[in-house]
């Protein structure tokens, strides 16, 4: 907020919403004691407890595919450190370490594929995993396990980590959970499969923060002549905890702030207000931007479905009908940046074909910066969805992946060393130009029809 004031923006402010219990960790040490002595690479999973000092125990395997498998381990896990995953296949050539979009790949993105209808298969699988995790956590806590260890899905000692528990203050905190590098994890599993005794020492200091259940979005404005008409740019401030969040998503915040600084420094006469929104809670289910949209633009009925209320907010089905707020009509467009440190190469229209015509025209003056691709495809997983889901034009840019998915995404390598300043400068110029065009265009930005309950939900309860 203070940095936005220094840029010269007005009304720099924090807007709060309910997040729940916070979590942080201060220390994590995992050591193999036998059959050999060595330190192991692991990180705690968010919203799981620490160990209350160093603890030692034997490692054991558990193979659990459905909840019914748990009872076969009753009476066996007390004082044990449980390894839950199978051996992880380490494929050294699975993915290029550094990925820059080729002309052929960009051209392919411009082809439109008919979206799949019906419930998301990924979501259905994840909900089953979530239900099993809840049963598993309750079993391990009841049976007295010391800790749970899962494997990283990355190679070369890279550990990708996110959550193991929930920020819901009513949820069980379970037992300590760790994510271990694939190579170290595999070594332990091989030893166990060979009937060797494996002893570990674990020391994790983690804290739950329940003094303040609120989180905060950070906003500021560059006023236009039509002050109530808003062009919005955003990125998310919150990272996962193994790295510093440099590529996910400090770079998006930095580019958005630089684009605002560029516009302010040029002393332009803007028709509309340009606003920056730096969101929190994105990693927990785009909660910050969702709260902002709910506060200002549109609301949905609260679900009364007990199964839905059991889920984290970010995983609940959308409810209907949509209730539009007065500010909705004055909204112009939202632009989001959250795919790592690579330069902008194009933009997704979220199937808004009318926007594609505008974007192709807007890209022409900045084509020498390598950005020209416009695709009518959807992209998901970040804050533009909060706007798109209530009928507001919300867009995410196409970016070069670089080493985002091969190294830095949600890992301990998400640090400044993997940021390329020249790519960020290019992105800031392109973003500033798009904001200027959206803020000065004569007409309202084209919108799709307001969302309606999908056909596959017809006949179900109106609030589920």
| 18-54 pLDDT per residue, tens | 999 999 999 999 999 999 999 999 999 999 999 999 9
pLDDT of residue 308: 87
d(CA 385, CA 391): 10
**C-alpha atoms less than 13 angstroms from C-alpha of 104 in its C-beta half-sphere:** 0
The set of residues, in sequence order, having a beta carbon less than 8 Å from that of 368 and lying 6+ positions away, is none
Q: Give whole-number Cα distances, 429 to 129, 257, 276, in Å.
A: 42, 11, 15
Q: Are residues 462 and 321 in contact, defined by beta-carbon separation less than 8 angstroms?
A: yes
**Mean pLDDT value across residues 311-331:** 91
Question: Measured at the alpha carbon of residue 74, what is the angle toward residues 72 and 77, in degrees to the nearest 5?
Answer: 115
Q: Please state, as a whole number, how many other Cβ atoms lie within 10 Å of the Cβ of residue 364.
A: 9
- pLDDT bucket at 296, cuts 50 / 70 / 90: very high
Instruction: Name 292's Cβ contacts closer than 8 Å, sequence gap at least 6.
Output: 15, 17, 217, 219, 277, 279, 386
Q: How far apart are CA 245 and CA 338, in angstroms?
A: 11
What is the tens place of the pLDDT at every residue in 419-450? 999 999 999 999 999 999 999 999 999 999 99
| Confidence grade of residue 456 (pLDDT, cut at 50, 70, 90) | low
Decide if pLDDT at 93 tops 90: no
- Counting Cα atoms < 13 Å in the Cβ hemisphere of 59 gives 31
Mind giving me the DSSP string for 412-427? TT-SGGG--HHHHHHH
Which element (helix H / strand E) includes 201?
A: strand 199-209
pLDDT at 462 over 60: no
Give the pLDDT of residue 325. 97
pLDDT, residue 464, reads 40
Contact 299, 182 (CB under 8 A): no
Label residue 245 left, alpha or beta by phi (over 0 means left) and psi (-120 to 50 means alpha).
Answer: left
Convert the pLDDT of each residue in 206-259 to its tens digit: 999 999 999 999 999 999 999 999 999 999 999 999 999 999 999 999 999 999
- CA–CA dist 207, 132 (Å, integer): 25
Share of the chain above pLDDT 70, in %: 96
Q: Please provide the average confidence, as pLDDT, over all residues in the chain.
A: 94
For 71-75, 115-119, 144-148, 235-239, which range has the lowest pLDDT when averaged over its residues?
Answer: 115-119
Predicted local distance difference test score (pLDDT) of residue 461? 45
Convert the pLDDT of each residue in 374-419 to its tens digit.
999 999 999 999 999 999 999 999 999 999 999 999 999 999 999 9
Position 274 scores a pLDDT of 98
């Amino acid at each position: 907020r203070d940095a936005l004031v220094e840029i010269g923006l007005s009304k720099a402010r924090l807007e709060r919403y309910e997040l729940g219990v916070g979590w942080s960790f201060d220390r994590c040490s995992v050591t193999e004691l036998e059959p050999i002595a060595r330190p192991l690479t692991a990180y705690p999973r968010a919203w799981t407890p620490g160990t209350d000092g160093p603890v030692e125990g034997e490692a054991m395997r558990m193979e659990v595919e459905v909840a019914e498998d748990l009872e076969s381990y009753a009476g066996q896990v007390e004082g044990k450190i449980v390894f839950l995953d199978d051996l992880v296949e380490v494929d050294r050539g699975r993915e290029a370490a550094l990925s820059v979009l080729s002309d052929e790949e960009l051209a392919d993105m411009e082809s439109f594929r008919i979206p799949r209808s019906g419930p998301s298969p990924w979501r259905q699988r994840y909900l089953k995993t979530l239900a099993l995790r809840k049963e598993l956590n309750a079993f391990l806590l009841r049976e007295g396990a010391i800790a749970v260890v899962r494997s990283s899905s990355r190679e070369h000692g890279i550990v990708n980590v996110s959550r193991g528990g929930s920020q819901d203050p009513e949820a069980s905190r379970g037992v300590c959970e760790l994510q271990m590098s694939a190579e170290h994890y595999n070594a332990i599993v091989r030893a166990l499969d060979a009937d060797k005794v494996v002893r570990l020492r674990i020391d994790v200091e983690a804290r739950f923060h329940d003094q303040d259940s609120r989180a905060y979005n950070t906003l500021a404005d560059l006023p236009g002549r039509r002050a109530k008409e808003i062009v919005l740019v955003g990125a998310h401030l919150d990272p996962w905890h193994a790295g510093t969040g440099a590529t996910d998503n400090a770079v998006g915040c930095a580019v958005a702030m630089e684009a605002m600084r560029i516009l302010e420094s040029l002393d332009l006469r803007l028709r509309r207000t340009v606003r920056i929104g730096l969101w929190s809670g994105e990693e927990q289910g785009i909660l910050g931007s969702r709260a902002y949209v709910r506060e200002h633009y549109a609301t949905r009925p609260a679900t009364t479905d007990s199964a839905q209320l059991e889920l984290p907010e970010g995983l609940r089905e959308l409810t209907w009908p949509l209730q539009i707020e007065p500010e909705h009509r004055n909204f112009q467009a939202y632009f989001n940046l959250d795919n790592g440190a690579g330069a902008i190469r194009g933009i997704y229209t979220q199937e808004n074909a009318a926007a594609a015509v505008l974007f192709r025209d807007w890209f022409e003056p900045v084509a020498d910066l390598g950005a020209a691709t416009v695709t009518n495809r959807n992209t998901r997983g970040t804050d533009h969805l909060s706007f798109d889901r209530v009928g507001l034009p919300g867009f995410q840019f196409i970016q070069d992946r670089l080493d985002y998915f091969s190294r830095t995404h949600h890992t301990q390598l998400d640090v400044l060393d993997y940021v390329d300043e020249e790519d960020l400068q290019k992105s800031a110029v392109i973003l500033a130009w798009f904001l200027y065009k959206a803020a000065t265009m004569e007409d309202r930005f084209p919108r799709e029809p307001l969302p309606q309950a999908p056909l596959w939900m017809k006949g179900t309860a109106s609030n589920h």
